[in-house]
Structure 1
Amino acid sequence: MTTATESKYVHMSAPGVAETVVGEDLVPAPDGVIVDIGYCGICATDTHGFTSAALPPAVFGHEWMGRISAIGADVTHLEVGQRVVAGVGPACGVCAQCRAGHAANCDLAFAEANGITDDAPVHGGFATRLKVSARRAIPVLDALSDEEAALMEPATVTFHAVRRANLRLGSTVVIQGAGPIGLLTAQHARAGGAGRVLVSEPSEARRAAASALGFTDVVEPGGLSALLTEVSSGLGADVLFECSGVAELFQPSAELVRRGGTLALLGYPGTNSSVSYGDWQSRELTVIGSLAYSHEDFLGAMTLIAEGRVDVRSLHTGTIGLGELVPMFHELDSGTSKHAKVLVDPRR
């Protein structure tokens, strides 16, 4: 099926400048689809990219969901009208990582997650329609609402991170930073069997959001060390998830982890960090970096949301149209916004 469709999208033309463009008619590639965007979430990566104009075009608006309006001739596993979310395809089986037996680190899936494949879209999901590889269109479970589906991408990022950390039942876990990523990480850790989950966050509104999700050990950063000492009998965290992306917190975060414990990195700092190599070595810390996700993470994350074990609805604090994007970027970049997750509805 090769139905042509017109599109409108927002792209960055310079740091702090975004323009709305009416695109040419979209026809799917033989192995691709056209997605009519329902919602696209605004990520901190989008906000940082807006101020620097440094993102790949496909990444500016990467938390999208929508319905397939056209499919390529070679696509057999998707249908017109089907709801899908942005994702990555299965391991390709032919890249260097796959041939070496490391399918979980497939080069093609990694490139898809970072918007740098040869067939990457010329814009992201801040659009009415999107032309994308069928590999990247992940079907949505019927139990999920459109709004929940729009929050699948960050939910899967955090599912992947908790999965990589190999939590043990009853673990003492610290979540540093209670933005959307921190709140989702905390929920996945709880669902994964964590015994105590301590949440550290300077923002009163974000601490309230953590408490509303049922977390009782929620403190300002200044109170974390004393609480952790009490909870762990002085040992420290079994696993600490660093979700703030503040470079200066790298070493202090490590020092909250018990000897032999795990420091898991989700926040992405924009500057270099100084650490004590000797401290990490002498305490035999395991340090795990986590970026994006694998194809199989999507079904796991969707299932937890569908079963009510992870709440993404409460993170949705506002919906805007394409024409309201620039003011919202400025608000989010100011550091004073009370929003957690804003969705863009191109139909508004």
Structure 2
Amino acid sequence: MNPTRIATVSASHSVELSEEAVPVPGPGQVLVRIRYCGICATDTHGYASGGFIPKAVFGHEWSGVVAAAGEGVTTVAEGDRVVASVGPACGSCAMCRAGHGEHCDTAFAEANGIGPDAPEHGGFAQHLVVSERRVQRALDELSDEQLGLVEPTAVTFHAVRRAGQRLGDVVVVQGAGPIGLLAAQHARHAGAGVVVVVEPSEARRAAAAAVGFTEVFAPGEAFRARVLELTNGLGADVLYEATGVAALFQPSAELVRRGGTLALLGYPMSGSEVSYGDWQSRELTVIGSLAYTHSDFLGAMRAIADGAVDVAPLITGIIGLDELPALLAKLDGGDTRHAKVLVAPNG
């Protein structure tokens, strides 16, 4: 069999393309032939930092086909299409034993690529061996391209579920990158009365319009005035912060009504200042959200399958493995029109 090719971060702003023998899955493991792996902002951070993120996380939005299954594997079989996932609550970690299965330590470690069975590299590769827990069989209704967006769709499904959004809520989504656009669609699917999207990029505002949003604004007075108009001066019921820009945390909170919810999706790479007294006196509910649970992947796939979430407009490019280093450099420099690019390591 021909060797398999892998892309890994070798140093700051440097990606190494290497070859190795196609690995053989051990007991409880599967060998996945990668079809697509999406490029995430986390990948760009890993590229720029030279290894700030775990090795398994550089290329974590992958999908593919089971090429071989090790001894004892029962949930998938050779030939099954699969998506990257995390396992169900393990039942034996400290969080599970305390009755907090939704925050299982084992699944959280899997999501962050830091568990004892984390692979040595991510899905920017032709093949990947992972624990059976780390894959979930794909819904037949979904195309390969749609499967390439399941992982970020699960991230945002998880966030909207955690926010406890109610029917008819006035929702603001801050940031119209892939995460913001997916969160906005889940919010709409969850019964928001109106979804207001705010985004400085004209191209991203156009992307929001392409998936059916009509209340789309650049930051500024017109946006703030519209939120106040829609809420009789009260402020948003729920605001999903999807930029990760630390300086926006307090201004975001000030757009939320007293007793409303600020849901944090974007991950800041620096510290931030907020007004503790403001958050307390207005009794804000602040919800942090990171990654997902096993069930979020099924919910995400169903949302795509029934058309509630349209991922097709988010895909702005498909490239080969050799093109990855140059594109990461462009993404890191901000010199790109792309929203979500899928890498097809096997062509």
Same fold (TM over 0.5): yes
Amino acid at match of 2:96: C
What is the alpha-carbon root mean square deviation over aligned residues? Answer: 0.9
Q: CA deviation at 1:304?
A: 0.9
Q: Which letter maps to 2:340?
A: K
- Aligned partners of 1:52 and 1:334: how far apart in 2? 13
The correspondence for 2:127, drawn from 126, 129, 142, is: 129
How far apart, CA to CA, are the structure 1 residues paired with 2:329 and 2:10? 16
Q: 3-state SS of the aligned residue for 1:25? A: coil
SS class of match (1:337): coil
Q: Which residue of 1 aligns with 2:239?
A: 240
Per the alignment, residue 84 of structure 1 pairs with 82
Alignment match of 2:151 (pick from 145, 150, 153): 153
Q: Measure the CA separation in 1 of the matches of 2:169 and 2:217.
A: 19
> Any conservation in 2 of the 1:5–1:26 contact (CA below 8 Å)?
no
SS of 1:167 mapped into structure 2: coil
CA displacement at 1:224 relative to structure 2: 1.9
CA apart distance, 1:8: 1.3
- My pick for the range that moved more, 17-26 or 107-116, is 17-26
Look up the match of 1:72.
Answer: 70
Alpha-carbon shift at residue 5 of structure 1 (Å): 7.7
Counterparts of 1:186-265 in structure 2, within 5 Å, are 186-222=184-220, 223-265=222-264
Structure 1 unmatched runs, 5+: none
Secondary structure of the residue that 1:26 maps to in structure 2? coil
Which structure 2 residues correspond to residues 15-26 of structure 1 after superposition, within 5 A?
15-26=12-23
AA matched with 2:343? V
Secondary structure of the structure 2 residue equivalent to 1:221: coil
Q: TM-score, normalised by structure 2?
A: 0.98
For residues 41-72 of structure 1, the C-alpha deviation after alignment (integer angstroms, 9 at most, x for no partner) is: 00010011100021111000000000001111
Asked if 1:13 is matched to 2:10, the reply is yes
Instruction: Find the aligned partners of 2:25 and 2:115 in 1 and give their Cα distance.
Output: 16
Report the Cα offset of residue 213 of structure 1.
Answer: 1.0
Q: 1:101 aligns with which of 99, 102, 105?
A: 99
- State the distance in 2 between where 1:213 and 1:312 align: 9
Q: CA deviation at 1:104?
A: 0.2
- Write the mapping of 1:320-331 to structure 2, written as runs, cut at 5 A: 320-331=319-330
Separation in 1 of the partners of 2:133 and 2:279?
Answer: 40
Identity of aligned residues (%): 63
1:167 alignment counterpart: 165
Q: Is the 8 A contact 2:168 2:192 kept in 1?
A: yes
- In the comparison of the two structures, how many residue pairs are matched? 345
Deviation track 1:56-91 (CA, whole Å, cap 9, x = no partner) reads 110000000000011111101211000001110000
Secondary structure in 2 aligned to 1:336? coil
What CA distance in whole angstroms lies between the structure 2 residues aligned with 1:285 and 1:221? 22
Amino acid at match of 1:87: S
What amino acid sits opposite 1:24 in the alignment?
A
* Partner residue, 1:39: 36
Mapped to 2, the partners of 1:5 and 1:240 lie a distance apart of: 50
CA contact (8 A) 1:33 1:72 kept: yes
Gap runs ≥5 in structure 2: none
The whole-number CA distance in structure 1 between the counterparts of 2:341 and 2:235 is 35
Tell me which residue corresponds to 1:119.
Answer: 117
The one-letter amino acid of 1:324's match is E
1:81/1:5 CA distance change after superposition, 3 Å? farther
Tell me, in whole angstroms, the C-alpha distance in 1 between the residues paired with 2:17 and 2:253. Answer: 44
The one-letter code sitting in structure 2 at the alignment partner of 1:226 is A
Give every structure 1 segment of 4 or more consecutive aligned residues whose post-TM-superposition deviation is greater than 4 Å. none
For 1:297, the equivalent position in structure 2 comes to 296
The answer on whether the counterparts of 2:76 and 2:136 sit within 8 Å (CA) in structure 1 is no
**1: CA distance, partners of 2:106 / 2:32:** 21
Contact 2:56 2:119 in 1 (8 A): yes
Matches of 1:231 and 1:6 in 2, distance apart? 59
Quote how far apart the aligned CAs of 1:25 are: 3.1
Per-residue CA deviation, residues 84-136 of structure 1 (Å, 9 max, x unaligned), is: 01110000000000000000000000000000111111000000000100001
CA contact (8 A) 2:234 2:257 kept: yes
Partner of 1:286: 285
Contact 2:22 2:127 in 1 (8 A): no
Partner-residue secondary structure (3-state), 1:115: coil
Name the TM-score, length of structure 1 as normaliser: 0.98
